[in-house]
Amino acid sequence: MANPKGNILLVGSIPLSSTEEVFKTCGPLLGNDVASLPDGEVGVRMWWIIFVAYQTFHGHPSIITLMQPKHGWKPTGMDDIFSFKLKPGVTSLHFDKLGYAEEAIKSYQAFRKARDEGSIAKGVRFQFAFPFPQDATFLFFRDPADHAAVEAAYEEVLGREIDQIVKAVPAEDLAIQFDVCTDLLEATGEYYAWSRPETVWERYTGPLHRLPRRVPVQALLGYHFCYGTFPTKPALQPKDLALSVKFANAAIAESGRRVDYVQLTVPIQRDDDAYFKPLENLKAGDTRVFLGVVNSDGLEGAKRRANAARKYLKDFGISAECGFGREQPERIPELLRIHREIADELLK
C-alpha cells in the first residue's frame, strides 16, 4: 500500500473516558474518510510525554526526581512539571518497559471488536503514536550531560516495544506514528533555557535512521510535526513552516522505508502567505501531506488557512492543529463533524 486513502487524520489524543468510547464515537462519524484511527491516548497518555515521565522515569533506581506535579502526575503549568537528573556516576541505564506496547495491544483488541460490530469501517487501520526520543526526554532532563544516556535508553526500549506491537498486530491493520514536537521547539533556540540548537539536528536524525526501519513495510508510517499545546496552543508561535518542512523532508528521505504521511501544524492565527510559503520546498513525493487547518473557528477559518496553503501545495488532507487532549469531551462529536464538513467542502 502506498499511502493513506483518507482525507482526514486524527493526530492522537481524544479526551473521552475509554478507548472503546473513542472508537464507537470516531468510527461512525468519520467512516472511510480516515485511513486509520487512534485509540485516543486515554488516561495518563492524554498528557503525551507525561506518560513516560510518570510511568518510566519517576522512581527509576538510576534517576533522581527533582520535581513532580503538586497533585500527582498532572501538571498545571511549566513550573509544575516533572524534572529529573541521573544519579551521580550513572553513565548508562536500562528501562524494562515504557508501557506503550501493553496499551497498544489492549487497544487493538478493542479496535477489532468495534470494527467487527460495524462501528469502524472495513479497511481502516489501528493507529498508535510514540514520542520520538528527544521528545520524550529533553523536557524532563535539563542537564545536557544526561541527554545521551537517557535518549539511548529510551530509543532502545522504544524499539523493543515497537517489535512487540508488530508481533501482536497484523501489519496490514497497523499505522505507526512518530510525534515530533520538542525537537522543533529546541531547534528554534527560543523556547528552552537549556536548548542546544547546534546539536538538535544530529539528535533528531540519528534515531530517524534506526527506529522507522522496525516498522514493517506493510504497515503505514507517519510523522506528526507540531509546536505543542501546553501551556498554550501553540506553545511557541512558529515564524513559518520552514522548520517543519525541513524536519519532514528528512523524515521522508532518511527513514529507510516508505513514509506514508506527514502532518504539519497550522496555528489558528495563521492564514498568511508567509507562513505557508515554505511548503514550496516540501519534497513529499508519494507521501500524503496533512495540514492542521481545522481549529475552533470551524469551516470558515479552515477555508482561509487551506486557501492560503493551496497557493504553495495543491494537494493535502486535513487535520486539527494537534490532538484534542485539551478540548472538552462534550465537544468531540462536533469537532469530528466539522472535520467531515471541511473535508467534503475542500477536498471532494
Q: What is the pLDDT of residue 74?
A: 85
Q: What is the pLDDT of residue 120?
A: 97
When pLDDT is averaged across residues 148-159 and rounded to a whole number, the result is: 97
Q: What is the pLDDT of residue 193?
A: 81
CA-CA distance, 285 to 261, in Å (whole number)? 10
Q: Which fold has domain 8-58+95-347?
A: TIM Barrel (3.20.20)
User: Is the pLDDT confidence value at 230 over 80?
Assistant: no
Highest mean pLDDT, choosing among 60-64, 304-308, 319-323: 60-64
Q: Please state, in angstroms and as integers, the Cα–Cα distance from residue 37 to each residue in 32, 59, 213, 263, 268, following that order.
A: 10, 33, 22, 15, 24
Q: What percent of the chain has pLDDT over 90?
A: 76
Burial of 117 (0-12, 13-18, 19+ CB in 10 A): exposed
Q: What is the pLDDT of residue 196?
A: 84
DSSP summary character for residue 141? B
Q: What is the pLDDT of residue 1?
A: 43
When pLDDT is averaged across residues 40-53 and rounded to a whole number, the result is: 92
What one-character-per-residue DSSP string does 210-239 give? TGGGGS-TTSEEEEEE----SSSSSSS--S
User: Is the pLDDT confidence value at 234 over 90?
Assistant: no
Please answer whether residues 322 and 226 qualify as being in contact, where contact means their C-beta atoms are separated by less than 8 angstroms.
yes
Q: Which three cell numbers stand for residue 315?
A: 494537494
Q: What is the pLDDT of residue 126?
A: 98
- Compute how many other C-beta atoms are within 10 angstroms of the C-beta atom of residue 166: 19
DSSP summary character for residue 264? E
pLDDT one-digit tens code per residue, 235-265: 778 999 999 999 999 999 999 999 999 999 9
pLDDT one-digit tens code per residue, 102-117: 999 999 999 999 999 9
What one-character-per-residue DSSP string does 19-72 give? HHHHHHHHHHHHGGGBSEEE-B--GGGGGTTHHHIIIIITT-TTEEEEE--TTT
When pLDDT is averaged across residues 40-47 and rounded to a whole number, the result is: 91
Q: What is the pLDDT of residue 13?
A: 92
Helix (H) or strand (E) holding 306: helix 298-310
The pLDDT mean for the chain works out to 92
CA-CA distance, 295 to 228, in Å (whole number)? 14
CA-CA distance, 223 to 259, in Å (whole number)? 8
DSSP summary character for residue 118? T
- Compute how many other C-beta atoms are within 10 angstroms of the C-beta atom of residue 134: 26
- Compute how many other C-beta atoms are within 10 angstroms of the C-beta atom of residue 238: 20
When pLDDT is averaged across residues 298-326 and rounded to a whole number, the result is: 91
First to last CA, the chain: 22
Domain coordinates of the chain in residue numbers? 8-58+95-347
User: Is the pLDDT confidence value at 324 over 90?
Assistant: no
pLDDT one-digit tens code per residue, 1-30: 445 668 999 999 999 999 999 999 999 999
Residue type (1 letter), 218: Q
User: Is the pLDDT confidence value at 60 over 60?
Assistant: yes
Helix (H, G, I), strand (E, B) or coil at 187: helix
DSSP bridge pairs for 38: 127
Q: Which three cell numbers stand for residue 170?
A: 497484523
pTM: 0.95
Q: pLDDT-derived band of residue 166, with 50, 70 and 90 as boundaries?
A: very high
For residue 30, what are the contacts with CB-CB under 8 A and spacing of at least 6? 8, 10, 37, 336, 339, 340
Q: What is the pLDDT of residue 231?
A: 67
- Lowest-pLDDT choice from 113-117, 182-186, 216-220: 182-186
Q: What is the pLDDT of residue 328?
A: 84
